[in-house]
Amino acid sequence: MSDLFGVAGKRVLITGGAQGLGNMIAERLLCAGAEVIITSRKLEASQEAAMALQAHGKCIGLQADLSTADGAVALADQIKALGEPLHVLINNAGKVWGAPLESFPDKAWPDIMSINVQTPFTLTHELLPLLSASATTGDPARIINMGSLVGHVVEKRPAFSYAASKAAIHHLTRILAAHLAASKITVNAIAPGYFSTRMTASMRCRPGRQAARNRT
Ligand SMILES: NC(=O)c1ccc[n+]([C@@H]2O[C@H](COP(=O)([O-])OP(=O)(O)OC[C@H]3O[C@@H](n4cnc5c(N)ncnc54)[C@H](OP(=O)(O)O)[C@@H]3O)[C@@H](O)[C@H]2O)c1
């Protein structure tokens, strides 16, 4: 029972792990004994972040643009080419678009739905053989999708496509969990509240927001 939640020796892919929440997750998993692969759109950024994370364990950085399904397939090909097992896929990379309803642009939909919903699906699809190969009844492979509280509750921030994409990834998670249970792969979603990252920088700049935060 003591290692029920142990990750020592597991190989974990975290999309977008060069910064933000993905980077925080990478650090904690490395400290717990996992090997981690992180990605960034910029090879240099992923390699620099991986070098810093190496202080905690074995970490490598890959380049991946996950704004299209082709980009997700290309990342899966890089992972397969490493020739190592894969135990955990964390679909963390994501994007937000905020604008008032009156001026919310059409182009804010395809981008956001692609990286927040379609890419996790495509990566799951492409990496299934690797994940299946490392899965056992007692120790299933894991897929973790990054959702959000705003996929559950209505909040005032006008991020229409983002909130819809997070609700979509929550439901896609349920569907994939049902489909993949028989393959010994669990699929779960995390729905974080607010974290101070680059994604939430614009929220911190809103008048009154910082004062309100300082009061808490
Ligand atoms: N911060 C919060 O309060 C919060 C709350 C709920 C959920 N989340 C979710 O947590 C996840 C991480 O967000 P974060 O807060 O850590 O924001 P962040 O610091 O802006 O990180 C976003 C990550 O996504 C990657 N990314 C963005 N566009 C990409 C693309 N086209 N191709 C490949 N990678 C791309 C970025 O990689 P590069 O820039 O290095 O290429 C970066 O690592 C997201 O799914 C977000 O929706 C965050």
> What is the position in ligand 1's atom list of the atom closest to the CA of 91?
45
162 is a catalytic site residue: yes
Kindly name the residue from 120, 162, 165, 169 that is annotated as catalytic: 162
Q: Where are the domains of the chain?
A: 11-215
Which residue, judged by its Cα, is nearest atom 40 of ligand 1? 40
Residue 163 above 70 pLDDT? yes
For the segment 35-73, what is each residue's pLDDT rounded down to a tens digit?
A: 999 999 999 999 999 999 999 999 999 999 999 999 999
Pocket test for ligand 1, best of 199, 203, 204 (most atoms within 8 A of CB): 199
The Cα–Cα gap between 20 and 127 comes to 24
Mean pLDDT across 105-133: 97
The residue among 115 and 155 whose pLDDT is bigger is 115
Q: Which residues contact 104 (CB under 8 A, 6 or more apart)?
A: 158, 160, 161
Length of the chain: 216
Superfamily of domain 11-215: NAD(P)-binding Rossmann-like Domain (3.40.50.720)
Q: What is the value of pTM for the model shown?
A: 0.94
pLDDT in tens, 180-199: 999 999 999 999 999 888 99
Signed CA dihedral, 102, 105, 109, 111: sign only: negative
Ligand 1 atom with least separation from CA of 147: 7
The two three-digit tokens of residue 56, written as one number:
């905690």
Percent of the chain clearing pLDDT 70 (strictly above): 93
Average pLDDT over residues 85-103: 97
Tens digits of per-residue pLDDT, 19-40?
A: 999 999 999 999 999 999 999 9
Q: Are 47 and 41 in contact (CB under 8 A)?
A: no
Q: Which mutation among 41, 75, 162 tests ligand 1's pocket best, with the greatest number of atoms within 8 A of CB? A: 41
